Amino acid sequence: MNIKLLQNNWRKYYKRGFITGIVILCFLCFVDQTLQSTIFFNKITSFGMAIVTLSFIFFGAVFCGILSTIILVIMSLVTTYKN
C-alpha cells in the first residue's frame, strides 16, 4: 500500500483527467455540431441549449477527473512504498 503516491499526486491526477475530459468532450461536441444529424450532443440552436451542452461537457469532465483519482487510489493500493 503506497499512501505517499496518493498524498502527493491526487491533485495532479484530477487536473489531468479533468483537462483531458474537457478537451475530448469539446472536440466531440465540435465534430457533432458539424454533422447533419448529431450523435452525442443536441444541436445548439439557442442560448439555453448551449448552456445545457456546456453543462454536459463540464459534468463529463468532472467525472473524468474523479475517475482518474479512483484509478490513482487503486494504483496506490496495489503498489508498495520504496524507501
pLDDT tens track for 17-58 = 999 999 999 999 999 999 988 888 889 999 999 999 999 999
Query: Rounded to two decimals, what is the model's pTM?
Result: 0.84
Residue 82, pLDDT above cutoff 80: no
pLDDT value for 68: 95
Structural domain contains residue 13: yes
Residues 6 or more apart whose Cβ sits within 8 Å of residue 40: 28, 29, 32
What is the extent of the structural domain holding 67? 3-78
CB of 67 closer than 8 Å to CB of 14: no
Q: What are phi and psi of 37, to 5 degrees?
A: -120, 130
In this structure, the number of other CB atoms found within 10 A of the CB of residue 81 comes to 10
Structural domain count, the chain: 1
Of 38, 65, 41, nearest to 52 by C-alpha is: 41
| Percent share of the chain, pLDDT over 70 | 99
Grid cell, residue 46, equals 439557442
Per residue in 11-27, pLDDT (tens digit) is 999 999 999 999 999 99
Structural domain contains residue 17: yes
Structural domain contains residue 56: yes
Structural domain contains residue 83: no
Structural domain contains residue 55: yes
